[in-house]
């Protein structure tokens, strides 16, 4: 019996042949992956909403720079729920450490701190998440829908969203534009 490998704190990079409109050309940061399934946040799909829009809708103040920071489509599951991917630190009501100095927080207190100009400096705020049931992600990996790569905070926080798909693949030395849309099994 072989030991199961889980991919928490990894990137899932959509292969060119993945044509699901929710995931085509996406980079998903896997927050959690285990026998019960997986949860991730898509990090390269900005919405036409800004952090300022979110703060305004929640009746919070709007700090400088909030108009410039986009909210992201985190995935198709619970698109009404917010997820804050950030460097670990702070004490938030509902926060999960994902490894390598990152955390995902779902409680309002982090947004309130951000609206006051406090809170983590490096953040990605997403609406919704990507979820997989038990064994589903493993099947999709076996079908060559995804590449996995170690997560890199530079890609998440410092690259423009339009560059993240190529940059994540480059971590593996892969140029996705050179891959055929469908890979075969030898």
| Domain-located, residue 1 | no
Q: Which domain holds residue 151?
A: 10-178
Query: d(Cα 38, Cα 7) in Å, to the nearest integer?
Result: 9
**Structural domain tally of the chain?**
1
| Domain-located, residue 183 | no
| Domain-located, residue 22 | yes
β-pair type (70-73, 77-87):
unpaired
pLDDT of residue 3: 45
pLDDT of residue 167: 97
pLDDT of residue 156: 97
Judged against a pLDDT cut of 60, whether residue 182 lies above it is answered with no
| Domain-located, residue 186 | no
Judged against a pLDDT cut of 90, whether residue 47 lies above it is answered with yes
pLDDT of residue 5: 62
| Domain-located, residue 140 | yes
pLDDT digits (tens, 9 = 90+) for 61-77: 888 777 789 999 999 99
pLDDT of residue 2: 39
pTM of the model: 0.91
**How much is the mean pLDDT over the chain?**
90
pLDDT of residue 185: 46
Query: d(Cα 181, Cα 16) in Å, to the nearest integer?
Result: 5
| Domain-located, residue 4 | no
Judged against a pLDDT cut of 70, whether residue 56 lies above it is answered with yes
Identify the CATH number of the domain in which residue 156 sits. 3.40.1740.10
| Domain-located, residue 2 | no
pLDDT digits (tens, 9 = 90+) for 139-170: 999 999 999 999 999 999 999 999 999 999 99
| Domain-located, residue 41 | yes
166-to-24, 93, 103, 177 alpha-carbon distances in Å: 13, 35, 24, 9
The token pair that represents 35 in the structure block: 């026998």
CB count within 10 Å of CB 27 equals 28
């Amino acid at each position: 019996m072989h030991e199961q490998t889980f991919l928490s704190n990894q990137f899932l990079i959509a292969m060119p042949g993945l044509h699901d409109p929710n995931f085509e050309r996406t980079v998903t940061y896997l927050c959690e992956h285990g026998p019960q399934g997986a949860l991730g946040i898509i990090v390269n799909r900005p919405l036409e909403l800004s952090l300022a829009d979110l703060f305004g809708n929640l009746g919070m103040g709007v700090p400088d720079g909030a108009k410039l920071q986009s909210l992201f489509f985190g995935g198709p599951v619970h698109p009404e729920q917010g997820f804050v991917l950030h460097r670990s630190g702070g004490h938030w009501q509902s926060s999960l450490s994902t490894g390598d100095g990152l955390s995902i927080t779902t409680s309002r207190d982090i947004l309130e701190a951000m609206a006051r100009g406090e809170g983590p400096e490096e953040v990605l705020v997403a609406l919704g998440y990507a979820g997989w049931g038990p064994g589903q992600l493993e099947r999709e990996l076996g079908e060559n829908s995804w590449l996995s790569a170690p997560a890199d905070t530079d890609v998440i926080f410092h690259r423009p969203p339009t560059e993240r798909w190529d940059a994540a693949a480059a971590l593996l030395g892969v140029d996705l534009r050179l891959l055929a849309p469908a890979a075969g099994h030898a």
